[in-house]
Amino acid sequence: MDNNDLEALEEFKKYCKNDVRMTALVLLYFMHFKKIFIEGDEINFTLEDLEEKSRQEIKATSHMIGQNIFDN
């Protein structure tokens, strides 16, 4: 990393809250290394694969609709 990259990263860290920062840093990791590790398996992908996955619609299951996550 050159000095400009480090300065940009520091500004980015100041801007983001912890959860947003972690999400963004994971995305930056994916974009840079183009691989992830899940349960010991290495999965390689292209940026096109990531874009395609991000466009998929997440469907809610009927048993989750209307539930409050804070109720025990």
Residue numbers of the chain with a pLDDT score lower than 70: 1-2, 54, 56-72
Q: What local confidence, expressed as pLDDT, does residue 57 receive?
A: 56
Closest to 25 (Cα-Cα) out of 8, 41, 40 = 8
Contacts of 68 (CB under 8 A, 6+ apart): none
Q: What local confidence, expressed as pLDDT, does residue 12 receive?
A: 75
Spatial distance between the Cα atoms of 12 and 37, rounded to a whole number of angstroms? 25
Question: Domain coordinates of the chain in residue numbers?
Answer: 3-55
